[in-house]
Amino acid sequence: SQTIHQWPATLVQPVGSPLSLECTVEGTSNPNLYWYRQAAGRGLQLLFYSVGIGQISSEVPQNLSASRPQDRQFILSSKKLLLSDSGFYLCAWSPGGVSPLHFGNGTRLTVT
């Protein structure tokens, strides 16, 4: 069966520090991968999605970036965090086509 791992579960970082969140999927190949952010009162905001290695699409301009160095690995990064980057970050995967998204357990990021 397929599983998705996301870490860390919680993170407290000062403003201006870098960020790296990692997500890996097991038990499938060539998944579509997604990063979403959930801030209070704003629902689930799509940040990035990827259909293959090196193929990243961004939905919202921001100081975040994403990379997909391997087929089942998706990384969210920032060089300098802002207070507004605080939120609950969720990684998700789908097998492609019209199919459900499967979410990881999320990372709660607090920027202080």
Partner 1 sequence: QQPVQSPQAVILREGEDAVINCSSSKALYSVHWYRQKHGEAPVFLMILLKGGEQKGHEKISASFNEKKQQSSLYLTASQLSYSGTYFCGTEIEWGDSGYALNFGKGTSLLVTP
Residues that bind partner 1 (CB under 8 A): 32, 34, 36, 41-46, 49, 51-52, 57, 59, 90, 94, 96-106
- Write out the two tokens for 32: 């579509």
Q: Which amino acid is present at 2? A: Q
CA–CA separation, 82 vs 106, rounded Å?
19
Of the two residues 15 and 59, which places its CB atom closer to partner 1 in the complex? 59
Indicate the residue among 54 and 100 with the shorter CB distance to partner 1.
100
Nearest to 21 by CA among 68, 74, 62, 59: 74
49 vs 75 by CB, closer to partner 1 = 49
Contact 11, 58 (CB under 8 A): no
